Structure 1
Amino acid sequence: MIYEVTIQIRVKDMAEGQRWYRTLLNREPDFVPHEGFAEWELIPRCWLQVAEGVPSEASGPLRLGVPNIITTRDRLMKELEMEDFEIHERPEVPVKWGTFTDPWGNRVGLFEYLSEEEKNIKMNAIHK
């Protein structure tokens, strides 16, 4: 039985990495046990760990579900000085999505459910 998930992303500069992911996630880390390491609980029992080290090549992307991909993309472009990243849609896929990289080459993405009903079901499930 799996009861919890952690995903680790490595960055070469921890101070800048923590700042960048704090801006991406729009909040402070939940846990900083020691220098060179920070964790955010993204949803109950799902943790993103940012650790100082050598980033892995060709991993990911780590995709984060958001209520509005356009609004989130626009905020990130402004606050992280990112270039525009393309948002994709396909008729057979129930989400729209986009992928970008952090300053260390880690692939990160966003997705948004197209159905408001499905989006609300997913968002309400984590608030129970």
Structure 2
Amino acid sequence: MKSYINSLIAVIPVENFDVASSWYASLFGRKPDLIPVAEVAEWQLAEGAWIQVSIDPERAGSGAVVVGVDDLEAQRGVCSESGIQLDETQEYPGVIRMAEVCDPDGNKISFVQDISGFDPAG
């Protein structure tokens, strides 16, 4: 079956937009790539893959997103340089290595390195 999907945006609900957007700028090492409307900030993490931080006090803290990385320890270093400490690395042998952090509202961000050797392109 043919898929017509060409992009993905993970929406992270936050209570305080200024605090959250500053925290995510530190996490990603740069200001947002796009601010389409007031109290919405977006970072493009890969081609067609975006994280959107938006004000939504009723749902704040209920988000979770998994971000694939090529090198988990290198990502840990990037986060550490910005003052953000990831949790201890968890490894599922032959599958993934991952480390997590929660934003100021409690939304969970997981950085995951595939160590399975699986190639989705076939």
Identity %: 26
| Structure 1: stretches of 5+ with no match in the other structure | none
* Runs of 4+ residues over 3 Å off in structure 1: none
* Structure 2 partner of 1:22: 25
Give the alignment's Cα RMSD to 1 decimal.
Answer: 2.4
| 1:51-66 correspondence runs (5 A) | 51-54=54-57, 55-57=60-62, 59-60=63-64, 62-66=65-69
* Structure 1 partner of 2:9: 6
8 Å CA contact 2:72–2:112 kept in 1: the answer is yes
* Structure 1 partner of 2:99: 98
- Structure with the higher helix share, 1 or 2: 1
How far apart are residue 21 of structure 1 and its match?
A: 0.7
How far apart are residue 92 of structure 1 and its match?
A: 4.0
1:41 to 19, 25, 44: 44
| Structure 2: stretches of 5+ with no match in the other structure | none
8 Å CA contact 2:98–2:110 kept in 1: the answer is yes
Instruction: Report how many aligned residue pairs link the two structures.
Output: 116
1:87 to 89, 92, 99: 89
Give the Cα separation in 2 of the matches to 1:91 and 1:35.
Answer: 43
- AA in 2 matched with 1:112: Q
1:71 to 60, 69, 74: 74
Calculate the TM-score normalised by the size of structure 1: 0.75
Calculate the TM-score normalised by the size of structure 2: 0.78
